[in-house]
Amino acid sequence: MEITDLLWAFDGAGDRQDVARDEVAGRLARLGQRRAARIVRRLPATGGVLDAAAVDALALRVHCELLRLAEELLLGRRVADHIGPVVQRLRRERPTEPVRVVDIGCGLGYVVRWLAQSGALGPGVELFGVDLNPVLAAAARELAAAEALDCEFVHGDAFDPGTAIQHGPRTVVISSGLMHHLPAPELPALFAAQERLGVAAFAHWDIVPSRWSTLGAWVFHRARMREPVSRHDGVLSARRAHPAPVLMAAAAAGAPGYLARVVERTGLIEHRRSDRLAARRGAALVAAMLVPVVLACLVDLAAHPSRLTVYARTGVAMLQVYGPYAALVLLALLFYTLLGWRQRYLAAAAILGPFTLIRPAVVVAGGAFGVHTSRDPLAAVLVGLAVVAVLAVEPVADRVWYCAARTAGPPTRVKRPVRRRHPVPPDVARRRR
């Protein structure tokens, strides 16, 4: 049981109910989750009842940290890549009628806001996010308004008539990280609700359960997350994810009128073209920003050839720091390129993620060691400039190439994401004709 599953309670009318802290902690303790129980006992409470404002603030912090996972897995691009053909088909069938995409359990609405900002699904698409938690739905609305995005977020049950799905045959339902919150016996009802409304298609993304995904989730959340609740629930999400046979059985039982497929290669996304483009851009930017430093070195050596030993000593000292770091990163990239997807997941989670996090510190440490070794003022200045240039690559690249759509105003159409090679989207079901 995840901690965040127990911190809110609502009655049938949607009114919020008090949640007893000791009751939640005791329930977790009875399930053998003693660490989770300790985390809950540290939450603010008045008269034994969890402080609603503190719990809501915690929810926002946890979901803000979850955005890192969505960003690193390129979740918005993956969704656009897979539901794009369905949206295009619906648009061709009735060009004058809009197509609606509804994200159930949207949280802070990352996927919906990404789709609205990028325009990846093209014109004539209505984007809706729905969440049972009113705090998250309200925060998603505020973020969309601040970013001037054409999308809507509502609080409620997405499958209640009139909440978000007005015309099922023109609606595509999506979710990410929702299904593992439901016990296996409740999954057929999820699919049945979509068939009852006659939606055109549904696509649900979730974790592929395996020992690798659990280990990867632990490494990622330890490296990226700061909230104890995030670290606990993130690993538990990987452990409680449903295997493919369970999902297929639930889809067949709840929505027999749909053609459902599960593709288990959802732990990673195939985006090698994007990787290569980003690598070329980064290499070109590094080279351009280091040109002044290289020219200064060459001018100095032309005037004082004897200073070659100073630069060589400085470079060797810096390599003593950068060499081991680079070797581990290259080894992880080799695994990522050559091995199966489970090993790729492990390489990305265990090495690439944490090492990306400490990269700025490694760059500074190597420069400092080079300066300490050289004990030369000019070499120290050039090393400092080189360090600044390397650290500036990521923010400069982000501003030049990846933030063009963040300016205020309506979203504009941008180049479509690269398609995956898989012909069948993960967990996508299309209605039988």
Whether residues 35 and 115 share a domain: the answer is no
Q: What is the pLDDT of residue 342?
A: 59
Please tell me whether residues 23 and 84 are part of one structural domain.
no
Do β-strands 171-176 and 99-104 pair in parallel, antiparallel, or remain unpaired?
parallel
Judge residue 361's burial from the number of C-beta atoms within 10 Å of its C-beta, 0-12 exposed, 13-18 middle, 19 or more buried: exposed
pTM reported for the whole predicted model? 0.66
Q: What is the pLDDT of residue 35?
A: 93
Do both 261 and 120 map to the same domain? yes
Q: Is 379 exposed, middle or buried (0-12, 13-18, 19+ CB in 10 A)?
A: buried
User: Is the residue at 254 inside a domain?
Assistant: yes
Dmax over CA atoms of the chain, in Å, equals 83
Q: Evaluate whether residue 68 is within a structural domain.
A: no
The CATH number for 246's domain is: 3.40.50.150
Claim to verify: residue 262 and residue 162 sit in the same structural domain: yes
- 230 inside domain: no
Q: Does some domain include residue 376?
A: yes
Same domain, 44 and 148: no
Please indicate, yes or no, if residue 194 is contained in any of the structural domains: yes
Range of the domain at 158: 74-206+242-270+418-431
Domain match, 22 and 97 both: no
Identify whether 58 is part of a domain. no
DSSP states of 174-187: EEES-GGGS-GGGH
Mean pLDDT of residues grouped by 10 in the chain (433 residues)?
A: 89 84 94 93 94 93 86 85 92 93 94 94 95 93 94 92 88 93 93 93 87 78 85 90 90 90 53 62 84 91 91 93 88 71 62 76 93 91 91 77 40 33 41 49
pLDDT for res 343 = 63
Residue 151 shares a structural domain with residue 266: yes
- Is residue 158 in a domain? yes
Give the separation between CA 40 and CA 26, rounded to whole angstroms: 10
Question: Are 42 and 89 within one domain?
Answer: no
User: Does 214 reside within a domain?
Assistant: no
**Residues constituting the chain:** 433
The residue to which tokens 């996010």 are assigned: 129
* DSSP conformational letter for 406: G
Instruction: Supply 42's token pair.
Output: 């540290």
The reported pLDDT for the residue numbered 190 is 93
pLDDT at 384: 92
When divided into structural domains, the chain yields a total of: 3
Q: From CA 176, how far away is CA 242, in angstroms rounded?
A: 13
150 and 200, same structural domain?
Answer: yes
Is the domain of 111 the same as that of 260?
yes
Predicted local confidence at residue 283, as pLDDT: 82
Same domain, 90 and 176: yes
In this structure, the answer to whether residues 111 and 246 fall within a common structural domain is yes
pLDDT score of 173: 95
